[in-house]
A = this chain, B = another copy of it.
Amino acid sequence: MQISLTLQEIAARLGGHLLGDGAVSISRITTLDKAQAGEISFLTNSKYRSQLASTNASALILGEGDAGASDLPRIISDNPYAYFAKVSALLNPLLPVVSGIHATAVIGEGARIASSASIAATAVIGRNAVIGEDAVIGAGCCIGDNVVIGCRARLYPRVVIYHDCVIGDDLIAHSGAVIGSDGFGIAMDAGHWIKIPQVGRVVIGNAVEIGANTTIDRGALDDTVIEDGVKLDNQIQVAHNVRIGAHTAVAGCAGIAGSAVIGRYCRIGGGARILGHLQLADHVEVAADTLVGKSIREAGSYAAIFPFSKQEDWRKNAVHLRHLDEMVKRIKVLEQELELLKKREEK
């Protein structure tokens, strides 16, 4: 299925200011250096500006400051990156959902599946689960008893949602994601760990995306909560009783420990770790691979990355990290002795 739109049609649907020939036909979106005739490209990062002169694209999406930087047919937007996303969505629509339940799917007693929903082969839906309109449950997904999934959910193959979890509309969940597994709750008793039952749920708002092999544990007593618009990349671990505020984005491999509360519009870098019971304010950015070991009360960017170097240089430098305190004491002694010398000299 190949969609073609004129530049004018695109601008009519998505807004923006059209400059040049609106009749040019567009069927693909791509980068400046790879674009060919019939394709639209975009400039969202000034370091690629020089490619404007040589691109073979038939049209461009440009920011307001770049309106005059090319003579090609172009749409000017105050947010060219979002505009690019919208054009790409126009040109690459989701495949239409084929409603119905595959013959090999297994549907639990009392489950209510919207007639417009699609349940793929070998999916297993628990008792009394509710699947909303136009939802797509991919092959091999396992949806637990009493789970509620909203409209237009799109679960790729092999997503697991444990019993009792509640999910809003427009969920996207990628393969291998696990929602509602037990939190890591154990108590030591006479030399043995006892399991603490995890009786909370995972409650997920609207328009959340969950990446491949990401795990979100159910709460121990209360719920784990993922608010509206949260975007989670792949391989993220969200522990029990975490709350992630609306529109926060978390990059791959990050880990958020139990009962941490993350604000709204935060951006957590790849591989970052947020320790348990901490609170992060709204609009906090955490750099990749940074461990956050205490609460952050103030919006802003935070980091803790050890700069890499050649192995031999690293070795030479890193060895001193075990002696920093001693170094500081040596500096202090130097300062005191120098002060003494200066005083004596002044006499």
* Cβ–Cβ < 8 Å partners of A273 in chain B: 253, 270-271, 288-289
Contact of A308 (CB < 8 Å), options: B158, B234, B290: B290
Question: Do the beta carbons of A229 and B193 come within 8 Å of each other?
Answer: yes
Q: A174-B182, A327-B331 are in contact. Are A307 and B318 (CB under 8 A)?
A: yes
Stretch at the interface among A16-24, A27-35, A68-76, A129-137: A27-35
Q: Is the interface of A mostly helix, strand, loop or mixed?
A: mixed
Within 8 A of B (CB), among A199-231: 199, 207, 209, 211-213, 215, 217, 221-222, 229, 231
Q: Does A128 contact B (CB under 8 A)?
A: no
Q: Does A67 contact B (CB under 8 A)?
A: no
Contact of A175 (CB < 8 Å), options: B29, B142, B271, B291: B142
Give the complex CA separation of A346 and B291 in angstroms: 51
* Cβ–Cβ < 8 Å partners of A335 in chain B: 330, 334
Within 8 A of B (CB), among A294-308: 300-308
Return the CB mask of A172-212 against B: 1 if under 8 Å, else 0. Answer: 10111010011011111101111111010000000101011
* Cβ–Cβ < 8 Å partners of A221 in chain B: 29-31, 34, 88
Q: Does A46 contact B (CB under 8 A)?
A: no
Contact of A187 (CB < 8 Å), options: B85, B253, B301: B85
Residues on A facing B (Cβ under 8 Å): 29-31, 34, 79, 81-82, 84-86, 88-89, 92, 102, 104, 106, 120-122, 124, 138-140, 142, 156-158, 160, 162, 172, 174-176, 178, 181-182, 184-189, 191-197, 199, 207, 209, 211-213, 215, 217, 221-222, 229, 231, 233-235, 237, 239, 247, 249, 251-253, 255, 257, 270-271, 273, 275, 285-293, 300-325, 327-328, 330-331, 334-335, 337-338, 341-342, 344-345
